[in-house]
């Protein structure tokens, strides 16, 4: 049995009875209404998958019922029925979204095919809308991870750009910063979200093929042009064309691109007819385009046309607050992909990835986490599986009370470029345990009694910190139960 519900709306009792019998025979749930008012009430209550709606009803005209159903969202598919089809009624119903018209007396062999086609079209439309929603969720702002002020300011700006009518946008940033992700976020959160998002890497296509790739070609335009081909501007009509690494385009193609941006008109290679296109062009480059303009490698007029809206993505080394949230995001991603249950990073791993400059930016961090996730067999990621460049970026050692500002008198330099405040031994001497206790108290004070932060300052695990706190009487029995609870991650 099928689950679809069919509402039959007709003022003739015999017609309703015969349709109810047939719908049940075909495996559908059958509902019935004798007039337009009843139909609207039942549709609101039961939201049928398909409605068989007579044009001529005693109270409300069938076309008016269709209009109200569509406005309320209570009709997914409607098939109109009439013994006397009037052209105006047909045109009005089709314009309002009716799937089809069937004539009376009804031919049940034709009707079942029409019902099946209407329901299949509805299922496909629902599936497409669901997939589009999933794409929007996956490529929206949630995938752009960042808690730093630089990234929150950037994403606030990106939201404004997405909502605007800007037709050209330039995204700049070092390789691996996520320029493509920002481009997708702009598209899928804009009014163009249901139109195509088409991307091309300008450095990956040979110069002699690039023009045909962008603008298309006619049959016979060159040796291998055996058939007409649409260019990416045509494919992206109504949506977004993302030109990655635009700085690699030749000066000749830059001139042709500028004409398209100015006039929104293209001509296929080998063609004689101009075609109008409506496309938002988002371009990206990891090159300094202003410098390229000064050196004569990039057209100044094209640069100014693209840079009407300019977005710069800061490198990861300038927003280190985002490193740990990004690492957590990638761990969650690869847990699902590799069917693992890694809980997080060891303290030493956290220290190493925070000290590293990440010249390859977010892409390099993602690759490092993926590598470690593949190799790690413990429930946390250990430094042993980090890439050599990361694990050797800073020496292990004392991390407590290091200073990054200019050294004060008596401070001692550390190998990683930071400074340690001066240490001294009292006249009468002291024990290492007393020094350890003093450091422990100072770390807790500096961390505002947050045990996770204090452990990080001392470069030890939280369990080790709590052991030492109990050892020196810094944790009381009545606090044991509360302090043993895991603290929220910060």
User: Is 246 in the same domain as 291?
Assistant: yes
- Supply 447's token pair: 């961390």
Query: Residue 15: how many CB atoms within 10 A of its CB?
Result: 19
What is the mean predicted confidence (pLDDT) over 127-138?
61
Residue 121, domain CATH: 3.40.50.2300
Distances (CA, A) of 274 to 87, 226, 236, 271, 301: 38, 21, 17, 8, 23
CATH number of 372's domain: 1.10.8.60
CATH of the domain at 248: 3.40.50.300
**What mean pLDDT is predicted for residues 312-341?**
93
Task: Say if 413 falls within a structural domain.
Answer: no
Domain assignment present for 19: yes
Residues 86-124 have pLDDT tens digits of 777 778 888 888 888 888 899 999 999 999 999 988 888
Length of the chain: 490
Do 374 and 440 lie in one domain? The reply is: no
Q: Are residues 284 and 199 in the same domain?
A: yes
451: domain CATH number is: 1.10.10.60
In terms of Cβ atoms closer than 10 Å to its own Cβ (0-12, 13-18, 19+), residue 131 is exposed
**In a shared domain, residues 268 and 195:** yes
Q: Is it the case that residue 334 has pLDDT exceeding 90?
A: yes
Q: Residue 144: pLDDT band by 50, 70, 90 thresholds?
A: confident
Q: For residues 50 and 114, state if they share a domain.
A: yes
- Is 347 among the domain residues? yes
Calculate the average pLDDT of the chain. Answer: 84
Q: Are residues 243 and 202 in contact, defined by beta-carbon separation less than 8 angstroms?
A: yes
* Domain co-membership, 129 together with 247: no
CB 128 within 8 A of CB 134: no
* Least confident stretch, 130-134, 352-356, 386-390: 130-134
Q: Return left, alpha or beta for 73; rule: phi > 0 is left, psi -120 to 50 is alpha, else beta.
A: left
Q: Count CB-CB contacts under 10 A for residue 85.
A: 16
Name the β-bridge partners of 284: 171
Instruction: Single out the residue in 374, 391, 408 at which a domain terminates.
Output: 391
The pLDDT score that the predictor gives to residue 444 is: 79
Position 157 in a domain: no
* Peptide bond connecting 410 to the previous residue in cis, omega within 30 degrees of 0: no
Q: Are residues 331 and 282 in the same domain?
A: no
Inter-residue contact 172 to 284 (CB < 8 Å): yes
Structural domain for 321, as ranges: 317-391
Q: 124 and 185: one domain?
A: no
Q: What is the pLDDT of residue 446?
A: 73
Rounded Cα gap, residues 168 and 242, in angstroms: 10
Q: Helix (H, G, I), strand (E, B), or coil: what is residue 284?
A: strand
Say if residue 227's pLDDT is above 90. no
- Read off the pLDDT band of 46 (50, 70, 90): confident
Of 369, 391, 413, the residue that ends a domain is 391
In a domain, 14, yes or no: yes
Residue 470 belongs to some domain of the structure:
yes
Structure confidence at residue 223 (pLDDT): 78
Extract the runs of DSSP E, i.e. beta strands, from 118-225.
Answer: 168-172, 197-201, 216-217
The residues pairing with 82 across neighbouring beta strands, listed in sequence order, are 103
**Domain boundary, last residue among 283, 313, 343:** 313
Task: Establish if 414 belongs to a structural domain.
Answer: no
Residue 248 is encoded by which pair of tokens? 């690699």
Are residue 226 and residue 356 in the same domain, yes or no?
no
If asked whether residues 297 and 321 sit together in one domain, one would say no
Residue 454 lies in a domain: yes
- In 339-474, which ranges are continuous DSSP H helix? 347-355, 361-375, 388-391, 432-446, 451-458, 462-471
Residue-wise pLDDT for 246-295, tens only, equals 999 999 999 999 999 999 999 998 888 899 999 999 999 998 999 999 99
DSSP class per residue in 223-246: TT--S-EE-HHHHTTTSEEEEETG
Say which residue, 1 or 440, is predicted with more confidence. 440
Cβ atoms of 475 and 441 closer than 8 Å? no
Q: Same domain for 382 and 273?
A: no
Total number of domains constituting the chain: 4
Residue 405's pLDDT is 42
Q: What values do phi and psi take at 145, rounded to 5?
A: -90, 130
Buried residues in 226-249 as b, exposed as e (16+ CB within 10 A): eeebebbbbebbebbbbbbbbbbb
Which SS3 state, helix, strand or coil, does residue 285 take?
A: strand
pLDDT of 304 higher than 50: yes
Could you report the per-residue pLDDT of 364-407, keeping only the tens digit for each? 999 999 999 999 999 999 999 998 878 776 443 333 334 344 44
* Domain co-membership, 360 together with 235: no
pLDDT at 443: 80
* Residues 245 and 284: beta-carbon distance below 8 Å: yes
């Amino acid at each position: 049995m099928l689950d679809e519900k069919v509402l039959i709306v007709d003022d003739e009792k015999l017609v309703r009875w015969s349709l109810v019998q047939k719908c049940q025979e075909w495996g559908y749930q059958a509902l019935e209404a004798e007039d337009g008012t009843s139909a609207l009430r039942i549709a609101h209550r039961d939201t049928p998958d398909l409605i068989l709606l007579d044009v001529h009803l005693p109270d409300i005209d069938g076309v008016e019922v269709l209009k109200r159903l569509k406005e309320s969202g209570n009709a997914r598919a409607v098939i109109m029925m009439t013994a006397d089809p009037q052209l105006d009624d047909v045109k009005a119903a089709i314009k309002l979204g009716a799937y089809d018209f069937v004539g009376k007396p009804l031919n049940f062999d034709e009707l079942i095919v029409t019902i099946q086609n209407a329901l299949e079209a509805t299922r496909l439309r629902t599936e497409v809308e669901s997939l589009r929603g999933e794409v929007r969720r996956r490529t929206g702002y949630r995938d752009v991870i960042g808690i730093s002020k630089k990234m929150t300011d950037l994403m606030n700006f990106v939201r404004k750009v997405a909502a605007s009518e800007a037709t050209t946008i330039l995204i700049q940033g070092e390789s691996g910063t996520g320029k493509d992700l920002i481009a997708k976020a702009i598209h899928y959160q804009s009014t163009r979200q249901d139109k195509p998002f088409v991307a091309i890497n300008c450095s990956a296509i040979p110069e002699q093929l690039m023009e045909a790739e962008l603008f298309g070609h006619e049959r016979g335009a060159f040796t291998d042009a055996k058939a007409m081909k649409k260019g990416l501007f045509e494919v992206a009509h109504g949506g977004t064309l993302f030109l990655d690494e635009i700085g690699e385009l030749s000066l000749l193609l830059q001139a042709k691109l500028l004409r398209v941006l100015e006039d929104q008109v293209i001509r296929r290679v080998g063609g004689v007819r101009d075609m109008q296109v409506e496309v938002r062009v988002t371009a990206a480059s990891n090159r300094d385009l202003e410098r390229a303009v000064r050196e004569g490698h990039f057209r100044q007029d094209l640069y100014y046309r693209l840079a009407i809206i300019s977005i710069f993505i800061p490198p990861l080394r300038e927003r280190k607050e985002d490193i740990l949230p990004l690492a957590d995001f990638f761990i969650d991603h690869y847990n699902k992909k590799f069917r693992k249950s890694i809980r997080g990073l060891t303290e030493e791993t956290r220290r190493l990835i925070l000290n590293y400059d990440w010249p390859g930016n977010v892409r390099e961090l993602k690759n490092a986490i993926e590598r470690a996730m593949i190799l790690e067999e413990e429930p946390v990621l250990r430094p042993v599986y980090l890439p050599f460049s990361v694990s050797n970026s800073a020496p292990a050692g004392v991390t407590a009370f290091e200073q990054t500002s200019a050294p004060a008198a008596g401070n001692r330099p550390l190998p990683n470029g930071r400074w340690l405040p001066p240490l001294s031994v009292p006249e009468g001497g002291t024990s290492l345990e007393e020094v350890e206790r003093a450091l422990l108290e100072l770390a807790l004070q500096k961390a505002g009694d947050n045990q996770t932060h204090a452990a990080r300052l001392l470069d030890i695990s939280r369990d080790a910190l709590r052991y030492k706190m109990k050892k020196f009487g810094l944790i009381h029995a009545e606090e044991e139960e509360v302090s043993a609870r895991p603290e929220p991650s910060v």
